[in-house]
Amino acid sequence: MRRARFVQFMLLAGFAVLAARALYLQGLSNEFLQRQGEARYERTLTLPASRGKVLDRNGVVLAASIPARAIWAIPEDVSATPEQLRQLGSLLDIPERELRARLIDSDRSFVYLKRQLPVDVAEQVRALGIAGVHQERETMRIYPQGEVMAHVVGFTNIDGHGQEGVELAFDESLAGTPGSRRVIKDRLGRVVEDVQMIRPPVDGADLRLSIDSRLQYLAFNHLRETIDTYKAKAGSAVVLDARTGEVLALANLPTYDPARRVGLTGDSLRNRVFTDQFEPGSTMKPFSVALALDQKRIAPTTTFKTYGGRMTFAGHTITDVSRSTELDITGILQKSSNVGMTQISERLAARDMWNTFSALGFGQAPALGFPGVAAGRLRPWERWRPIEKATMSYGYGLSLSLAQLARAYTAFARDGDVASISLIKRDSAPTTTPVYTPQTARNVRGMLEVAAGFARAQVPGYRVAGKSGTARKIIDGAYSRTRYTASFVGFAPVSNPRIVVAVRIDEPGGDVYYGGRVAAPAFSSIMGGSLRLLGVEPDAQFQTLRVAESQAAQAGAAQ
C-alpha cells in the first residue's frame, strides 16, 4: 500500500513539475523564447535597387538591367536522376562532371550553380522539378550596342558594381540605394513570414550621355576600315561638339563585347582616347604659331628661310619632308616645316610656351571623372634646353591623349577659348579658358584651312580646317625608325565651326604611315558623315575630289 502511494505521489509530483515548467515557458518566458526563435530563423534580406539605365543624348538605351534568376542548391537535399542532371547541366551550360562535383560537396550547405540566368531558361530549370535546387530573383545588365559602345559604357560585375567606363565612373548614382526587410525562413531558405520592412530600396538614376549613337557607329566603322586597310596595331577617334564641349562619339580598336568578357586583355579594355599618351608631332604646330602671333613675334606675312628642308640647330640636324627654301607662316603649317617651326620657337620664351600649353590642358587630366584618364607629360619650363623648346614647338618632347588634343583644337574653332569636355549631356554652356585672342584664332583657322586643302582631308560641301601629324614612337627609350603614330585633327565648317574630329592610328603597317595619308581619309569620312547626320548646313560648293597625287603630296599629304 505504501509503495502504491509513493508511486502515486511521484507521478503527481512529476506532473506538477511539468505543469510548472510549461507555465514558466509559455507564460513568464514567452518573450525570451520568441526572441531566441527569431534569432535562429529570422533573416534580414537585402532588397536590391534597380540600376539606372545609360542612355545616349537622344534617349537610345546603351545599358539596362533586366530580370534574371540565380540558381542555387543545398547539396545534401539534391535528389535527381542522371537524366535530370544531364538536362540541368545543359541548361546551365555547365559540364555534367563539374555539376556533379558541386552537388556532392557535403561540406557546403549552399552552392550557386548559375548567376544571371535568363528568366526563360530558369523556367525550364524549374520544370525539371529537381529537389534541392532553388531559384532567387536578380537582375542582369545588357548592352544593346555591344562592342561599338564598349569603351564608353564599360560593364558591371556579376553583383552589379561598375568595373569599367561610365558604369564605373558613375557607379554610385546608377546603383541607387538597396533596401532591406526582416523575414522568417525555414531550413530550406524559404520565406514563411514577413516580420518588418526596414528600408525600401531607392532605384538608381538614369544617366544621359553626350554620345550620339549614330555618330558613334559612323566613327567606329570608319576607324575599323582604316585599321584593316593599313594593318595598324590600334586606333582611336573622338568627335567633339565645338560649341558645348560634349563628346559626341568616342571609338577605340581593338574593342570587346561587354556581354562576353571571357579572355579580355588590357589592349582590348583600354579606352585609348583617354588613356594612351603619345607625342603629337605636327598637330602641335598651330599652337606654337598662334602664341607667336598673339605676342606679335611674327605676323601672318612673316617669311623664314627653310634651307631646302635642312638646318643645324643647337648641335642637332632639323629636317623637313618638304624641300622648300622659303616659307611664310601659312606655308610652314601647310608644308609642315620643322625648320620653320624651330626658327619661330627661337622668338618665344620657354615660360610663355609652357603657360600656353598648360592653358590648353596639356599636362593635366581632363576633369571627366572617367577611370584612367591620362594627364600627359609636360616638363617644367625651367628645365627646357633650346633644342627641347624647338622640338616641343613641332610636337616632340611632350605627350598627351587624343582627348586632350581634340579639346585644344576647340581654341581655333571657338575664337580663342578652350571648352571643357563632358561625357554627360549638358543643359548649360561649358566652362571655358581663354588662350588666344579672337583675331589670332581666326588667323590660324584660315591657315589650317589651307593646311587641310589636300584631297584626302576634304569633305564635299564643307570648308574644313585641320592638321596632320606623324611621330616616331619611343621604343625602349629611343625613337623607332619603323613604328609611327599617324594622326589628323580638325574642325568644320570653317565659316561657323560645329564639330572637332581627331583620329589617331597606332603603328600603321607597310610603307604608308604619314598622318596625311593614313588618318586624313578617316577624318574626312567621320567629319562628312557627322555633319550630314547633324544637319549642318554646307558652307562650300561641292567639288570633285579627283586631285592628282602629286598635287596632294605637295599640299601636305606626306605630313
| Active-site amino acid positions | 282
| Residues paired with residue 261 on neighbouring β-strands, in sequence order | none
Number of Cβ within a 10 Å radius of residue 132: 15
Query: How far are the Cα atoms of 290, 410, 411, 482 from residue 448, in angstroms, in the given order?
Result: 11, 13, 13, 28
Q: How many CA atoms lie within 13 A of 471 on its CB side?
A: 30
Q: How many CA atoms lie within 13 A of 134 on its CB side?
A: 17
Q: CA 530, CA 273: separation in Å to the nearest integer?
A: 18
Please list, in sequence order, all residues whose beta carbon lies within 8 angstroms of the beta carbon of residue 105, skipping any fewer than 6 positions away.
Answer: 75, 111
Q: Between helices 82-92 and 119-127, what is the axis angle to 10°?
A: 180
181 φ, ψ (degrees, to nearest 5): -145, 155
SS3 content of the chain, % helix, strand, coil (to 5): 40, 25, 35
Q: Are strands 162-164 and 133-142 parallel, antiparallel or unpaired?
A: unpaired
Closest CA to 418 of 288, 242, 284: 242
| Residues paired with residue 257 on neighbouring β-strands, in sequence order | 260
Angle at 187 between CA 186 and CA 192, to 5 degrees: 10
Q: Are strands 162-164 and 417-419 parallel, antiparallel or unpaired?
A: unpaired
Tell me how far the alpha carbon of residue 341 is from its chain's centroid.
35
Tell me how far the alpha carbon of residue 119 is from its chain's centroid.
30
426 φ, ψ (degrees, to nearest 5): -95, 145
- Based on its alpha-carbon atoms, the radius of gyration of the chain, rounded to whole angstroms, reads 34
Please list, in sequence order, all residues whose beta carbon lies within 8 angstroms of the beta carbon of residue 382, skipping any fewer than 6 positions away.
Answer: 350
Give the 3-state secondary structure of residue 14: helix
Q: CA 350, CA 381: separation in Å to the nearest integer?
A: 6
Q: CA 183, CA 378: separation in Å to the nearest integer?
A: 60
Q: CA 118, CA 412: separation in Å to the nearest integer?
A: 51
Q: 51 with 204: CB under 8 angstroms? A: yes
Angle at 129 between CA 125 and CA 134, to 5 degrees: 65
Q: 403 with 421: CB under 8 angstroms? A: yes
Place of cell 606655308: 331
Q: CA 230, CA 253: separation in Å to the nearest integer?
A: 13
Give the 3-state secondary structure of residue 310: strand
**78-86: Cβ within 8 A, 24+ apart:** 78/103, 78/130, 78/131, 78/132, 78/133, 79/130, 79/131, 79/132, 80/128, 80/130, 80/131, 80/132, 80/133, 84/128, 84/129, 84/130
